[in-house]
A and B are shown apart, each in its own frame.
Chain A
Amino acid sequence: MYIQESLQGDLLLLDRVAKGDQCAVGELYDLHSRLLFGLLVRILAERAEAEEVLQEVFVQAWKRAHTYDPSRGTPAGWLCGIARNRAIDRLRTRARGARTLEGVTAPLPPETPEAVASGNERHRNVHRALNSLPAEQRDLIERAYFNGATQSEMALDLGLPLGTVKTRVRTGLQTLRRVLDRAPVDQ
């Protein structure tokens, strides 16, 4: 339910993009660039690089809009996936070092006045839902998602059995879905 906010408009926009409408790309950018830029800065921890990748994301969306498959997620999720994949690729080209598993054991960053002022109920619902997960599940999910750490890498780095890591990640994601399904619908 948390994804319903702009689904209809997004689908129409992506359809226009798939038909070659460049104005629609600009509108898509206006709707999602803040979300994607925040995501990219969080993954890359580097604003200039995040700006570069943000451009690439929308160029890729322009080229690949016709491959979007709504049965696998929302347009916003599709864009997040492109952004994450490109950012993780960049992370992996950097020397795998200190950044790999650092910085994610801290709790989620507090909501900034900017985010609060945005009135984005979806963001707040998700933030609350993530914070409701047990710390050991949330931590692994964030390491995997934001740092691109594989489950095998996390098991090795944290000295945990691979099965334990897989169970925690899977259970956390399933719980997240259930919690968000119960969250209020965005308006």
Chain B
Amino acid sequence: MSRHDEIWGQLTGYALGELSAPVREQVQAHLAGCAECAIEVRELSLALEAVGVSSTPMTPPVSVKDRMLAGLGSQPFPQALPTTPTTLTIASGRISRPWLAIAASTVLVVGGILAVSQQRAAGLAAELRRVDANVAQLATEATTVAAQADLAVAILTASDMRRIDLQGFDASRDAAARAYWSGTKGLLIVADRLPPPPPGRIYQVWLIGTGGAGPVSAGLVRGRAGRGMLIVAPPAGVTGGTVTVAVTDEPDGGVPAPTGSKHLVGSV
């Protein structure tokens, strides 16, 4: 067993405060240079913090606060300023601890990245990499949303756009749904009051032309709280003057041809 593995196995005991002083010091020495263990300890500590929070709050007698404050008066204030770093130097400027905390907690949703010491630099760097990855993912999602918005505008303003009112069936009989179909730009479908699909299933949209081909999958409906939307370029194979749009529930991930119950149908 490596030293790392050995310490890894002690981290719960460390977070619980049950280790003997020599073992605790060994763990602390290892944490100073191991980002993985430092992050794990932080996660365990936050979980234990939550256990404490699970206790039912109780109001102490007012006298406790009075006694506590009176007791403070007799206590010498130990140290006005900390000896450990409380400011983080960024480029040429310095940011005070509380304001940096507000910024960090708001943007990173991390419980404070304030007292940046050399010992914790590795752990913070790993955490920042994780945040960077999240930001990159959000940027990708934003690009996708922007592209979908452009496509929606193109569909709605297309000269061949036709509106199709969809009728709900069975569990979806109260749903309100409408499709906008352009053979040159694509399909936009929106639905409201759509019940959640059965467990393990998802709503899939089908287009059926009069060109002889069977139903062509247009994609899966994404949404929440009873609302769903799909915006796609025109699928290949949909030809003919009359087009039918149908929505069925299918196994999660979708299927090549409809097999499930129909929920919405409309033609134009």
Contacts and interface: CB of A to CB of B under 8 A. Distances in A.
Contacts of A123: 53-54, 56-57
B113 A70 contact: yes
Contacts of B116: 71
A3 interface: yes
10 closest A-B pairs by beta carbon, nearest first, are A70-B112, A77-B49, A80-B52, A66-B82, A34-B57, A173-B47, A38-B58, A11-B101, A38-B55, A39-B55
Contacts of B81: 18-19, 66
Given A26-B69, A35-B57, A126-B54, A77 B112 contact: no
Contacts of B115: 69-71
A159 B68 CA distance: 43
A123 B56 CA distance: 8
Interface of B: 9, 12-13, 15-18, 41-61, 64-65, 67-69, 71-73, 75, 77-84, 97-98, 101-102, 105-106, 109, 111-116, 120, 123-124
Contacts of A130: 50-51, 54
B53 A71 contact: no
B5 to A, nearest CB: 13
Contact of A59 (B44, B49, B51, B75): B75
A88 B16 CA distance: 11
A3 B68 CA distance: 26
B112 A38 contact: no
Given A1-B109, A70-B101, A73-B46, A22 B72 contact: yes
